[in-house]
């Protein structure tokens, strides 16, 4: 199963403070992916990506970007994984959300 790119989506209290912290670690904001004003942005350092999200969700999320989220959802369901938020629609961008056995949230987001 090809899960695509991986990033950690972080629920932050203050996106400006968090952006400055991750910039000190060498991360740079991707200008085409969110903004301080929108209260979310994606940052990258080499092959490592993180998303900073203020006020969008309460917990950190493991995020994967597969090329076919519906196929991933079908395979997870076939293995007995409960789908908390199923993909909407039959084609195009979409996402599904599951929880692992310890309650950690995983999102599979096709854009």
- State residue 31's pLDDT score: 86
Calpha distance 65→71 (Å, rounded): 12
Closest CA to 29 of 12, 60, 56, 52: 52
5-110 has CATH 3.10.180.10 classification = yes
Model confidence pLDDT, tens digit, residues 49-100? 999 999 999 999 999 999 999 999 999 999 999 999 999 999 999 999 999 9
Torsions phi, psi for 92 (to 5 deg): 80, -170
Can you list the alpha helix ranges (DSSP code H) found in the chain? 15-24, 69-78
Calpha distance 35→41 (Å, rounded): 5
């Amino acid at each position: 199963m090809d899960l695509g790119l991986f990033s950690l989506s972080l629920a932050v209290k203050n996106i400006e403070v968090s952006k400055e912290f991750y910039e000190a670690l060498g991360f740079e904001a991707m200008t085409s992916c969110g903004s301080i004003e929108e209260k979310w942005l994606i940052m990258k350092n080499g092959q490592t990506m993180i998303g900073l999200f203020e006020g969008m969700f309460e917990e950190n999320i493991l995020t994967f970007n597969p090329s076919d989220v519906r196929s991933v959802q079908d395979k997870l369901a076939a293995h007995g994984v409960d789908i908390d938020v199923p993909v909407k629609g039959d084609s195009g961008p979409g996402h599904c959300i599951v929880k692992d056995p310890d309650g950690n949230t995983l999102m599979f987001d096709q854009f």
